[in-house]
Structure 1
Amino acid sequence: MKFSSALKFNAVAEWWDEYIAYDALKKYIYQLEKTQHDQSSYHDLETNERASLVNRAAETDAVFVPLLEKELKKICAFYEAQEKELIDEVTQLEELVQQQDEAGMAGNHYLDGPFEDDEDEDEDEDSLSRSPRRRRRISSSAGHRMSLSASGSRAIPELAPHDHRRSISSTSSDGHLESPPVSPTAPFGKISRLANKLTPDFMRNSVSSTHDNVWMSKSDYAYDTRLLFKRRITTLYISVTSLKSYVEVNHSGFRKILKKYDKVTYRELKDAYLHGSVEPAPPFTAASRATLTTLVTRLVDLYAKCVTRGDRGLAKQQLRLHQRENIAWERDTVWRQMIGRERRGDGETLGPAGASLLKEEEEDSKPGMLFQWGPARFRATKKKIALLVAVAIFVALLNTQVVDVDKPEANRCFAVLIFCTVLWATEAIPLFVTSLMVPLLLVCSSVIRDDSEDPVALPPPAATKYIFSVMFSPTIMLLIGGFTISSALSKTNIDRVLITRVLSLAGTRPSTVLLAFMGVSCFASMWISNVAAPTLCFTLIRPILRNLPPKSSFAPCLILAIALAANIGGQSSPISSPQNLIAIGEMDPPVSWGQWFIVALPVSAISLLLIWGLLLTAYRPARSPDGGRDIEIKLIRPTRERFSLKQWWVTFVCLVTIALWCFAHQIEGLFGDMGVIAIIPIVAFFATGVLKKDDFEQFAWTIVFLAMGGIALGKGVTSSGLLEVLDLIIRDLLDGVSLYNVVLILSPVVLVISTFISHTIAAVLLVPIAKEVGASLPEPHRNLLIFITGLICSAGMGMPVSGFPNQTAATQEDEMGVLYLTNIDFLKNGVPASIIATLVVSTVGFLLMQAIGLK
């Protein structure tokens, strides 16, 4: 979570203006960064040389430090006022407890006036709009209004009547008082109003004539007295702990903003300012911490005496429970209301009618045809229509003989195949939900057959065992192992360290920086998936984009380059994308990692260079928008962090795992399959605490289930006999066609399909077809065609929806909320890039596959 969000979430809502202005300071830092960059690239027109600018760093500090001083002064003033008030209130409360001890059970209580309740209610309601300090003062006095005794001295607090007691609090099983959570600023006018309804007759009946200890007595008067003291102690305890949290949050705020300043402006102000200015300030000194700790201890002692009958451990436990309940209440009410107002705009408050009207307007503004049948309303959106069409096609195909009459299982499997293809292509329902439907449809449609010479459909129990046994294959385990490596590299910050060190060598020339980012995006996609890699790169280019001239063509060029390179990176290693794993799973025997790299790395490198040239020609990113001198890019400097022991451990495990994958065929007598090797990083990282349970839960399980559904569908096509039917059709179509002509026919088909649907789904549908096409050739070349199909699936990148990297790039916005890329950018550059990558696979890739003897 970003600190700005954490600050809002942990702050006391009514003190919001008193916290460090973190967002404003961060904006100043970015302004200083832009100024610093402009000044450092100053060009002397007379000498045609770069002028040396002196003391720019000192000038930056001179601007930023006063802003910090202003925030520090504000925080100190607020803290000192709060601390003094809390000390006074705790002292006053201790005096009241002492007076109650002296009065015992014989206090003299009379009302100040019979109609005081209405005035108190108005006062409490008015207090809701006052400052936090004034509000808490009213809360404390309202909850514990004092009356004068006959002698004119201060006496014990007024009491709540017996008949209202159970609605205010309850008694726990051990006899102690319990009450609802208390806000540090919420008024307690209810307690005050109840207390003001007391009458002398009631008091005479409630108070014993003896002088027993009020803290131990079980009378109504003693109960109500303890209740009122409990409410005030709890209120003060929450106030003190809130002030402690205020100090901690602001100290973190100064540390975070100084770290951001040093990182952006390449300064070293953090340690000097923290030790020289922040830590000696009143809220952050050891004496201030000791004061707040002492106040907490005094309140715990009072609570133990007044409420828990001397049990200090129980007192501390109950006070902490009240504190947690108060925090939960504030987060669930105050911030939810504030967020709701911000979403509605300008803090407008809508009543139930307004909210209902807004909801109806939103419904009416959605695309699609609206149908109404009586009170019911139905909107026919594209996805709903696609779902209805898919169901209609499925029902029609089940009742139509499309395939061979002698193979009813194949006909039903064809209906399942078309139904899932339509749902995957239109995304009428989530992709992984369609995948989960595959085993359900295969079993219920009696598609799975046995392996006898005259195969018959398996009964549902046997079909269920078979389909679930093949879904969790070694390919799935390999996919989970890839997720584990990706998560470990990201969590230990290894990816950022390596990437920034590589990019620091790129210099400031736009063309060189563009190629460097493409190389980094491609390489990162090989190991941390082509979903996470572009997201990381987009984070790293933010400082560059902030310092570019307005309307510079380098910004969209760089964003599109990162997305296209990430797609190319999806080809480069077996674990870089699910389509590669699906291809390997269908190969017999599967290619080794070494064979994959021999083909994929040259193909990826050539594609990357050609696409780089395409983007340079299309965008000319070095040119300034105003036609002046060429732009220069802000230099990316490497992180200063050294590798920790944990980072070295992660690096070692990753390298060992990759090495074992590369030699999987040579050591299959020990490990059996690459899926077993994938267990090594899972055990190594989760057993040593590098990754936690939460990291495991955050894996892309939707992709896992997507791949499992594809495997199940492929097995269903094979088992049902549908593949045999397709084999005959393909043999007739490709009779007499040479191997390379098959490659030239298959490549554009795969490219078009993978451009408009998910790359993974394209592989699920097309890899089995490529396998059957390869088997139907005079000289079988199953693995070769499967390999080509898997690589081209990653080359479909001509549309914003073509793959995860394109989808991420299409959402990138500038500081004004304007998108960097449009559909035209993808059509003019993404489509040619897709064609280039496909041609490289079908030419260079084909030759390399033949060179290594792939069949």
Structure 2
Amino acid sequence: MKFSSSLKFNAVVDWWDEYIAYDTLKKYIYQLEKQQHEAKTQHHDLEANEATSLVSDITPDTDAVFRPLLGDELHKISTFYAHQIKKLIEELEQAEELVREQDELGLVASRLYAVDEDDDEDDEDDEGYTRDPSTERPMSKRRRRTSLSIGPLLGSVRSKESPVEARRTSLSAEDNEDLERSLASLRQTQTLPPEEQAAPAGPSSRSRNRDASPASPTIMHKFVSPFASTRPQQSAGGETIWTATTNYALDTQYLFKRRFTNLFTDASSLKSYVEMNYSGFRKILKKYDKVTESSMQRHYMRDVVEQTAPFDRTSRQVLAEAQDKILQLYAKCVTHGDGVLAQRQLKAHLREHIAWERDTVWRQMIGRERRGDGGVPGPVVEEKELRLWTPLGHVWVGWKLIWVLVALAAFAVLLAVPVVESPPASRCFAILVFATILWATEALPLFVTALAVPPLLVWLRVIVGDNDEPMAPPQATKWIFAQMFSPTLMLLIGGFTIAAALSKTNIDRMLITRVLSLAGTRPSTVLLTVMGVACFASMWISNVAAPTLCFALVRPILRTLPPKSSFGPCLILGIALAANIGGQSSPISSPQNLIALDYMNPRLDWGRWFLVAIPVSAVSILLIWVLLLVAYQPATTPKGDALEIKTIRASREGFNRKQVFVAAVCVFTIALWCFARAIEGVAGDMGVLAAIPIIAFFGTGILTKDDFEQFLWTVVFLAMGGIALGKGVTSSGLLQAADGIVHKLVAGLSIYPVVLVLSMTVLVVSTFISHTIASVLLVPIAMEVGQALEGDRANLLIFITGLICSTGMGMPVSGFPNQQAATQTDEMGQLYLTNIDFLKVGVPASIIAALVVATLGFLLMNLLHLDAAAFRRTDLPTVLCYLS
């Protein structure tokens, strides 16, 4: 999580303006970066002798600008801390004084409390016991009512006046007289012998108290706070006010518990305030050094920040001692001296306080952060509605609901009117149309539609057994779920694990920054390098995470561009298009590749996939790069000057042992996947090999349960639903029923015209709907068409379909990289891209990439003998020898 988001989630809400202005300082850093880059560009434009003499005059002294800003923040934090720690110490001293006074008074006032209880006996019955949350003892209604009267007294100690004096100023004359008489009565009772003080409050003692002080016991209990001493006043039995179990003692303990609990919360909040601000200074200085290529963090933190309150040793010690004192007093007054129990209770209350404080708004922000929204509320997109007339009047209906109703209507009609002779195949066709409409319109979440497929297949008796009869629901349920969790899904989870390990150990960022640091300053070279990096990253950390990382890494370049420079949109769109191309480069880079692998028979190993996909992707990237240079001409500024790009600094960190281990496991696993067919007799399917990184990373603690929960499980369930639908189409006989139609369509055609027609069809479909859904719908068709061709070219057409599904990138909604690119904004909040950019570049780029697959990819597939019969007779070493 970014520090700015962490600061929002962990800050004390009421102190928000007193924290370090992290976001503001970050904006200043970016301004300094831009000034620094402009100065360097100006140096390069001067002649060599002039540049040398003017460097000191032109290059801004960023340290001199940034230090005062840090000083202002440090002064603000130090001043606020001094005020808060002073208030905390004063309240703690007052509380400690109250404890000493209560120790001296002891159980004297319990007699007055008993008088108050007896007076109330005539007014109400003693019933309705509840539980006191602080003591877990029964507490009657009378006790609750009386204990509330003590609250204002204990709360008044925050004022500069004494508790009694504070109450006197707000009382009437009559109440003041009662208070004075009560105080006098209390002084008299303190002079009694100990045995009389400890005597039970019987009728005689009650009458004596009334004679000594005509004040009402309720008034006495309301205004007198028994305090002051050095040693607890004990009863004859050795009890103190902190160990006794009388009503008065329990109420007193409860009130002190509440007071010390609040003090502990205040002290913990102040400690969190110090820690968050210390991290803020460290983080902002680290960012400053990285952006401006300075080295101010280490000495500024050591010589300035750590020598100033509240970050110096003395301040930290004072706060720690205050917390220890609160804990000791809480243990004395509440837990009978049990320090461990006191600490446990205080921490439990602190957790509850934080949970309550961060409810509502803070919980929503954390939810957004986990979903990837960065914790920043975005614009609310309202669903468009349609006004319909009904017999009850006009109603407004959302389009999603309309599409759900359309899908249900089509489903009902196809069930009622069979379109295929075989009843199971006809019912399967109805399910296929129903799911296709919902997937294409996204009227329901994609994975929800996918989860609706298995129950429909079972309930409608679509699955046909070996005896050509529909399976009973129990047998069909076991069969369909066994098919859904295939080795393909294990391969997908293994890919998620590798991506998570590379990201968590920062290997992906380190490798990418090192490559980008070699790109130089020419716009064309930088663009090609960034596109290559985005494509390569998409192969291993998925084409969902890769563009997110790349957009973050090129921010320094975008921040230093001249206003309205064409290189900004060119670079953003280049990353999106390259990430889409990277989605076809490895089997685990996108779900559509895994779905294609699942339909291949025999299944293609990684080595053959790379031999086709990597050359195809490389050529596509180069052609799209040329297209971007022609469309945007990013080498010049709007003024016509040559554009110079800021160089991205490589990470200074070296590989540690954990990173070396992660890299070794990933390379080893990928190598096994590449030669999976050669070791199939020993290792089994690629899905079994996918367990290696899962065991290695989760078993060693590199990845945790939280990382596992963050996997894209919606994609997993979507793939499971697609597999279930494909197995249902095959089992029900629907695929065989379509065999005659397919044979008529491809009759007399050679393989290449079929490839061209299929390629354009897949491209159009994948442009307007999800790439994964396009593969779910079109891969079975490609398999059927390929089986109808001479020589069984199913594997070849499936491979082509899977690759072209990733090339549908002509619209802003075509794939996640495009969707994310469409939301990228500059420093002024303006979008880099418009729909015109996608139409001008995205559509031609899609056509180019699809044609590369249909030409170069088709040629390589033929060289690899991807027809089923020849494929079974060759292994990867034979293919490599043939190609060499």
TM exceeds 0.5? yes
> Where does residue 802 of structure 2 map in the other structure?
790
Q: Which amino acid aligns with 2:433?
A: I
Matches of 1:621 and 1:762 in 2, distance apart?
34
Q: 2:158 aligns with which of 137, 141, 159?
A: 137
Deviates more, 1:831-840 or 1:16-25: 16-25
CA deviation string 1:274-323 (max 9, x = no partner): 10011111212222222122212222222222222222322222222332
Write the distance in 2 (CA, Å) between the matches of 1:217 and 1:380. 68
1:76 and 2:56 are equivalent in the alignment: no
* Counterpart Cα distance in 2 of 1:844 and 1:445: 44
Larger radius of gyration: 2
TM (norm. structure 1) is: 0.84
In 2 relative to 1, CA 619–334 (structure 1 residues): closer, same or farther, beyond 3 Å?
A: closer
Q: 1:17 is aligned with what amino acid? A: D
Q: Secondary structure at the match of 1:637?
A: coil
**Which of 567, 573, 577 lines up with 1:564 in the alignment?**
577
- Residue by residue, what CA displacement relative to the aligned partner does 1:621-664 show, whole Å, maximum 9, x if unpaired? 11211x33121111001111111111000100000001001110
Aligned length: 770
SS in 2 for 1:496: helix
Summarize deviations over 1:656-702 as a string: whole Å, max 9, x none: 00100111011001111111111111111100111101111111111
Does residue 273 of structure 1 match 2:300? yes
In the TM superposition, 1:382-781 aligns within 5 A as 382-403=399-420, 405=421, 407-452=422-467, 455-625=468-638, 627-781=639-793
Q: Which residue of 1 aligns with 2:280?
A: 253
Per-residue deviation at 1:459?
1.4
Question: What corresponds to 1:199 in structure 2?
Answer: 219
Tell me by how many angstroms 1:226 deviates. Answer: 2.9
- Measure the CA separation in 1 of the matches of 2:584 and 2:427: 34
1:58-78 Cα shifts (integer Å, max 9, x gaps): 810011111111111222222
- Whichever residue aligns with residue 410 of structure 1, its letter is A
Query: RMSD value over aligned CA atoms?
Result: 3.4
C-alpha distance in structure 2 between counterparts of 1:408 and 1:50, whole Å: 87
Please give the secondary structure, in 2, of the residue aligned with 1:572. coil
1:575 is paired with a residue whose SS is coil
Distance between the aligned counterparts of 1:636 and 1:382, measured in 2?
Answer: 46
Kindly report which structure 2 residues correspond to 1:100-179, keeping only aligned pairs within 5 A, or say none: 100-106=102-108, 137-138=158-159
Shift of the alpha carbon at 1:145?
5.9
* Counterparts of 2:91 and 2:853, CA distance in 1: 78
Distance in 1, matches of 2:783 and 2:16, equals 64
- In structure 2, stretches of 5+ residues that fail to align are 113-147, 169-178, 188-214, 228-232, 368-379, 868-884
Contact preservation (8 Å) 1:149, 1:155: no
User: Are the aligned partners of 1:797 and 1:806 in contact in 2 as well (CA < 8 Å)?
Assistant: yes
Identity level (%):
62
Are the equivalent residues in 2 in contact too, given 1:144–1:229 (CA < 8 A)?
A: no
User: Which residues in structure 2 correspond to 1:323-362 (within 5 Å)?
Assistant: 323-332=350-359
Select between 216-225 and 60-69 the one with higher mean Cα deviation. Answer: 216-225
Q: What is the CA–CA distance in structure 2 between the aligned matches of 1:518 and 1:811, rounded to whole Å?
A: 19
Are the aligned partners of 1:140 and 1:232 in contact in 2 as well (CA < 8 Å)?
no
- Contact 1:438–1:713 (CA<8 Å) still a contact in 2? yes
How big is the shift at 1:81?
A: 2.7
Determine the C-alpha separation between the residues in 2 that align with 1:828 and 1:647: 42
Q: One-letter code of the match for 1:80? A: A
Decide whether aligned partners of structure 1 residues 57 and 51 sit closer, same or farther in structure 2, where only a CA change above 3 A counts: closer
From the superposition, tell whether residues 815 and 44 of structure 1 become closer, same or farther in structure 2 (CA, over 3 Å): closer
Q: Where does residue 344 of structure 1 map in the other structure?
A: none
Q: 1:99 touches 1:155 (CA, 8 Å); kept in 2?
A: no
Change (3 A) 1:612 1:136: farther
Q: Which amino acid aligns with 1:698?
A: Q
Match of residue 63, structure 1, among 62, 65, 75: 65
From 790, 814, 817, the counterpart of 2:826: 814
Give the stretch that moved more between structures: 476-485 or 221-230. Answer: 221-230
The 2-side partners of 1:411 and 1:139 are apart by: 86
Aligned to 1:97: 99
Matched, 1:238 2:265: yes
Cα gap change, 1:24 to 1:76, in 2 (>3 Å) = same
Once the two structures are overlaid, the 10-residue window that deviates more, 209-218 or 634-643, is 209-218
Deviates more, 1:274-283 or 1:808-817: 808-817
Question: Is residue 803 from structure 1 mapped to residue 818 from structure 2 by the alignment?
Answer: no
- Per-residue deviation at 1:139? 11
What residue is the counterpart of 1:841 in the other structure?
853
Q: Quote the offset at 1:716 in angstroms.
A: 0.9
- Measured against aligned partners, the alpha-carbon deviations of 1:69-95 in whole angstroms (never above 9, x if no partner) come to 111122222222322333233223222
Aligned to 2:20: 20
Q: 2-side partners of 1:737 and 1:136: how far apart?
A: 95
Match of 1:380 among 397, 415, 421: 397
Please give the alpha-carbon distance, in whole angstroms, between the structure 1 residues aligned to 2:288 and 2:670: 39
Contact 2:782 2:798 (C-alpha < 8 Å) held by counterparts:
yes
TM-score under structure 2 length normalisation: 0.82
Given that 1:685 and 1:691 are in contact with CA atoms closer than 8 Å, whether structure 2 keeps it comes out as yes
Q: Matched residue of 2:310: which SS?
A: helix
SS of 1:621's partner is coil
Which of these residues, 269, 285, 288, is aligned with residue 315 of structure 2? 288
Change (3 A) 1:196 1:388: farther
Change (3 A) 1:309 1:139: farther
Alpha-carbon distance between aligned partners in 2 of 1:374 and 1:456, rounded to the nearest angstrom: 46
| 1:41 and 2:61 correspond | no
1:296-315 maps to which residues of 2 (within 5 A)?
296-315=323-342
Is this contact kept in 1: 2:164–2:223, CA < 8 A? no
Q: CA deviation at 1:433?
A: 0.9
